[in-house]
Amino acid sequence: MDVQKAFSISPRQFATSGTVMVRPLLLKPQWMNGLSERLLVSHYEIDYGGALRRLNAIRARLADLDWARTPTFAINGLKREELMAASSVILHEIYFESLGGHGDNPPTGLDEPPAGLAQALAREFGSVRAWRAEFTAMAKALAGGSGWVILAWSERLGRLVNQWAADHAHGLAGAAPILALDMYEHAYHLDFGAKAAAYVDQVMANLNWERIGARYRMAIGEGAGEDELFLPFGAPPQAEARISAEELKAALENDAERRPVLLDLCLPRDLPRRADMLAGARMHVPAALPVWIEKLPRDRPIAVYCICGFQVSGRAVTELRRRGYDARALVGGITAWHAIGGATVPLDTSTYEEAP
């Protein structure tokens, strides 16, 4: 496949052009605890994706800027917008990655912080319960306004702090966010209307403390082997079996012989969740693999996608590669594709098999 580099789950994600790459949803949006798929996906694709697209557009503009001739007001505006877009991207990623169940299981609402983080919260706030009371009160106090509430590790202060942020660019200097709670209205209005306090309680019942704990360990310099926690459940573990949305977009611009063949896999129960697809993709039932695999070329790269890039595309890619096909799973699925502004066409189910 004509792509420059495999997707990395490291926080440093840049395509070769310097583009800041999308991070996939790690939560299963259809199985969350009192937060709807419609809310989460629109927030991810439109608001997070919008910030990411804005950031890359500003970076492209800055790369071509003649610094000596550009008016100061234009420099001020671009650099201010760049900071806000970049912080919005990073905080949204921390927000979404802090939510979700474990493996294939929905969040239970009963999760507690892992031992190291629990001890730090108890040391600095009195108890985990006291930390939670402060953090949620701060979030609820932003009802009717907007901003972020952030749990951050400050190396300088030598402690975890709960921090209010009036906008995306209002972080405690030098502190590393561990958990971020989005209090912009777009984060809750679809499900909760003006009931911001109910939204805050529901977010707290969806926290993935395993990943928040990993973020804490990385912030204090004790992180090790955390990468797999930040890979979508069921995605192929080998980097060469995955393709990022940005890499796929570039590969689809190749001439016809080198362009990847696109496979859209969807479980029958998930069909009602779908409205569109990538142009030129063929849609199949995953379980009908013995039927549709016969039509796949062996001399072309194959890009497989599903809704969010979990086990539906992951399992198929593993099987295709086992049979010798050059197949890769789209990281983050069509949801990540939407977030980068990738073009789609209306769903075509004419190639979709009857469920076996």
Nearer to Fe ion, 184 or 216 (CB): 184
How far is it, in rounded angstroms, from Cα 109 to Cα 202? Answer: 9
Nearer to Fe ion, 97 or 182 (CB): 182
Q: How far is the CB of 171 from Fe ion (least distance, A)?
A: 15
How far is it, in rounded angstroms, from Cα 96 to Cα 267? Answer: 24
Q: How far is the CB of 187 from Fe ion (least distance, A)?
A: 5
Q: How far is the CB of 152 from Fe ion (least distance, A)?
A: 18
65 secondary structure, DSSP code? -
Buried b (16+ CB within 10 A) or exposed e, 206-237: bbbbbbbbbbbbbbeeeeeebeebbbbbbbbe
Nearer to Fe ion, 165 or 278 (CB): 165
Contacts of 196 (CB under 8 A, 6+ apart): 139, 140, 142, 143, 144, 183, 188
> Is residue 183 within 8 Å of 196, Cβ to Cβ?
yes
φ, ψ of residue 166 to 5 degrees: the values are: -70, -25
Q: Tokens 């993935």 belong to which residue?
A: 208
Q: How far is the CB of 43 from Fe ion (least distance, A)?
A: 6
Q: How far is CA 282 from CA 28, 166, 302, in A?
A: 24, 46, 11
How far is it, in rounded angstroms, from Cα 145 to Cα 257? Answer: 53
The residues that touch Fe ion, with contacts defined as CB under 5 A, are 47, 182, 184, 187
Nearer to Fe ion, 37 or 348 (CB): 37
Q: How far is the CB of 51 from Fe ion (least distance, A)?
A: 8
Q: How far is the CB of 148 from Fe ion (least distance, A)?
A: 9
Nearer to Fe ion, 183 or 235 (CB): 183
> Is residue 303 within 8 Å of 277, Cβ to Cβ?
no
Tally of CB atoms within 10 A around 47: 17
Nearer to Fe ion, 42 or 344 (CB): 42
Nearer to Fe ion, 328 or 338 (CB): 338
Return the residue nearest Fe ion (CB atom).
182
End-to-end CA distance of the chain: 32
Q: How far is the CB of 76 from Fe ion (least distance, A)?
A: 25
Q: How far is the CB of 183 from Fe ion (least distance, A)?
A: 9
Beta-sheet strand order (sheet of 148-154): 159-165, 148-154, 176-182
Nearer to Fe ion, 22 or 316 (CB): 22
